[in-house]
Structure 1
């Protein structure tokens, strides 16, 4: 039986984050290939962490900058190793390469962190993005990580194009793998008249979600003025005091905290509002809004790489007054609402249906396992970056390890 080791930046929380759901989707793909799976993380699990043991996955707590990892990875002797984000590859990639040189090394980018960083910079400086904004320190670290790995999973078509067209990364090092959906479960229920109020959701560990709520606080009074009976229910895990301070019963701006069930929340609401000011990757909340028949109003960045042709399951607006106008129209126009919901189902079937990606991905993994040496010979920059003169993270880790002893 082939073996997979996943090194997680955190223990998966599928009920809290889209990244947690994404991780379970990856696990399922490898389980279908009959891999024996171990999940390793230096993070501390909490009450919301998914219990991987219930899926017959071995769980190991590991330490940063410690040679006990070398002993463990040698003992596990994986055929495939997945690094959860480039920071994890920086910490453990060199150890995997030294102790398990024949293991296929895969980077799950989640989204391109350098792209999110560039957009955050321009957002905070209130200006348009320039090419030089991409070339931040995160860019250099993330691209180096991509080249050191045998394959990197990219979640967004926009990000695939950015890497291959703008930065000339060889497509042989990349695999487009978006969120995966079982589209046979889609349902038209409940209907327009059975729903009420606006909703927004997003865990508050993620800074763009906090900024989205601040945007909503600015916009909500204008929406409420036109639809006095409406409320805005804001959900999100890890809400802090500064989030709850925005709660205002009189304004109908209600901070609800963690959602026990996204499906339940989304099935009751009529419109999702998510004026995302910056970010990268795909937005899990927008995918789930399509799944549960909930039209939305978002920004161009929110909808990025998620449309099918020009179809969207709601309205897209970057201008504040237009956003308010579209929110009111979508909430009150039953015909438009129904059409947008159907658009969402079309998008899911054509862009995210699991059957579109499963066989191709699994075949790609098997092909790489069978042809790993030839694949690596083509990755010239990968060889360069493995040279000891360019492995500062390795030697920093060794220095910290000795210092700690």
Structure 2
């Protein structure tokens, strides 16, 4: 787990203090001294979180470093956790599309600065509100990027802190003396590092798929008939309730709708919003609803679905048994789970220069007990040259009641 720090100007030992705080939370840290012309990473590979440090005084601009601007905008799009600290909050706001005039110094001084009610439930700020003496705001923002939520404001400025979506924060407060962080900032960095660590799995997935989402449909459109053939093996009935987990661009959704009919329901779930946006652009909402959610914690009622289709997902999860147990929870008795991939296991291994791993979860001897331990019974298994398919049936719901 790694946090990258983008430093726009020399700031004494502050970068070292932040590095120490991140490492104390169990994460690795790398500081890119943009002011010394060190190049930022080319993409988000290996980056679980970003901290953006500004200079000593505003205004700041990303115009002089297009690579850093691209990285930061990619992080925002992929919902990689980002913290804009001090005047780094202004850099973050610029990357998020705020008008240039919001980045200039505002009216001198500040009124009484306080957190807004939104901060009370904020994932980063709740329960670590500073004392009045710990708040040392900078110039403040007259307005925020579109969609941003104000977390702290004063009588003269609309915001000194804000959140964009659920993964990016800007805190325009002084970080502290040059030889260290202010105590409140230490708590913020510690909370941010914990948040980064908790979201690592989703961050990596979103970072991988977000910049590929736009071309995903065209690249794999030839596989659509194979998806339809796999869906036909599920035995869905008209009026059935079916979920496509890890739906991506929703290639299975038209076939799922065909089998459950107009009286049934189809739900496509994916953890990467960019993939769902691509699905919507390809009119997959004609066939069902799209939802951003974690497949390990589904926002669905117990025993509420009759079928689950998933392609290329289970063996990429860090804890497949937790996923299988959760999928069983939302499934009605005798519901069908179809695990699919448009390539066989041997074909995929060869494509990646590997031999088949005997510990592969999808090997029949491994998959059967994994399903059985989580309330599923393997009913059909095919590992063919041109596809992989395993169909399981929801068994006795008490089988996974441990």
Please, what TM-score do these two structures have when normalized by structure 2? 0.32
Q: Which has the higher helix share?
A: 1
Q: Which has the higher strand share?
A: 2
Name the larger-Rg structure. 2
Query: Under a length normalisation based on structure 1, what TM-score does the superposition of the two structures give?
Result: 0.32
